[in-house]
Amino acid sequence: MTDIPAPAHVRAIAPYQAGKPIEELAREYGLDPAGIIKLASNENPLGCSDRVRAALAEAAGALHGRYPDPNGFELKAALAARHQVPANWLTLGNGSNDLLELASLALLDEGTSAVYAQHAFVVYRLATQARGARHLMVPARDYGHDLDAMLAAVAGDTRLVFIANPNNPTGTHLSGPRVRAFLESVRERHGERVVVLLDEAYDEYLDPDERADSTQWVREFPNLIVTRTFSKAYGLAGLRVGYALAQPALTDLLNRVRQPFNVGVLAQLAARVALDDADFLARTYALNRAGRTQLQEGFAALGLDFVPSSANFVLVRVGEAARINGELLRRGVIVRPVAGDGLPEHLRVSIGLPEENARLLDALKAVLQA
Ligand SMILES: Cc1ncc(COP(=O)(O)O)c(C=O)c1O
């Protein structure tokens, strides 16, 4: 440890463990990168829309030396039309991760707390710790959020409740009516003192009967932030764009702590074009649905328990996850260990192309039967 006097709450942070990049595994194990598959970061196996690629290629040729539009006028206009809210209800972020940070910066401080679920997206804890606030982790129920227990956990100093729907890394989903009932209970008991951040990074993967009108709930709940991302179904993880919907008073608070130029020129453009490519989104949804069935059936055939997923990954219980992960890596297959999320017997497998899913299942079978 260094002698640099960082605050204790910063020293207490365990840094985020990202999925291993393909190049890193190739270097470490002397493998050919072309033969490695990565099913570790919930990325879109189709890449991104051809229309986005074409728009970016053209824009790259005309790239200027100026800063991006700090207010994201055009992208916000497109999102406002999509979600039927005024543009001043939108905040853009450098990925939706940025918005989680902005919410914590705007609302948390030492002497306050945030509530989140066990096995929920790890950034909720990181963003809370970074502000020196208390983090109140509520035990999961069936791998998902226990909303009753989360409501009960809200303390006098709680300012923020994080909900991931679907949740990462478990893939669990809460129905629209259940989330709405939670929002009503929070309002009844705490008014606007407690903000709920509903993180919908995987919303586009939901089946039609799972979908809720969640972006419209911001009209009724002045204490609600809904976040979405272009990283997953839209395939723009490398460009970093996400957005939040909230009423103007809350949006204004987020804007106060936002870096002025937090979303780059190409990222804003790509998101705008991606938003319009309904065909790409439909192909992504269909591929994911089929891949989810392929993986879940494959896990069942191997006698492995898994958590039925509503997202683009599946959490599977393999037992000795650290050893099995090491064996998969030796075979050029990268998945995500989740011991840091309190799940030492599980691995999280992102849904890939059919041949990638098959390769993972074959490798897993070989490792389990060795
Ligand atoms: C639940 C959840 N929220 C937010 C994010 C942040 O993604 P991004 O910053 O790429 O939008 C992720 C990324 O994996 C996630 O799983």
- Can you give the residue ranges of every domain in the chain? 8-48+279-369, 64-277
205 touches ligand 1 (CB under 6 Å):
no
Q: What is the pLDDT of residue 1?
A: 61
Homologous superfamily of domain range 8-48+279-369: Aspartate Aminotransferase, domain 1 (3.90.1150.10)
On the question of pLDDT at 53 being above 80, the answer is yes
Which is the closest atom of ligand 1 to the Cα of 121? Answer: 1
Q: What is the dihedral of CA 200, 205, 208, 212, to 10 degrees?
A: 0
For residue 213, report the phi and psi dihedrals to the nearest 5 degrees. -85, 45
Percent of the chain predicted with pLDDT > 90: 95
Residues 42-52 have a mean pLDDT of 97
Which is the closest atom of ligand 1 to the Cα of 166? Answer: 1
Q: What is the pLDDT of residues 234-275, one digit of tens each?
A: 999 999 999 999 999 999 999 999 999 999 999 999 999 999
DSSP conformation letters of 289-325: HHHHHHHHHHHHHTT--EEPPSSSEEEEE-SSHHHHH
Which one is the CATH code of 64-277: 3.40.605.10, 3.40.50.2300, 3.40.640.10, 1.20.1090.10? 3.40.640.10
112 touches ligand 1 (CB under 6 Å):
no
96 touches ligand 1 (CB under 6 Å):
yes
Q: What is the pLDDT of residue 15?
A: 83
Residue type, 167: N
Separation of CA 155 from chain center: 26
Q: Give strand pairing partners of 160.
A: 114, 195
242-245 and 134-138 strand pairing: unpaired
On the question of pLDDT at 45 being above 90, the answer is yes
Q: Whose CA is nearest to atom 16 of ligand 1?
A: 168
Which is the closest atom of ligand 1 to the Cα of 97? Answer: 9
120 CA from centroid of ligand 1 (Å): 11
Measured CA to CA in angstroms, residue 42 lies from 101, 177, 291, 305, 323 at distances of: 20, 27, 13, 20, 22
Lookup: tokens for 75: 């992208």
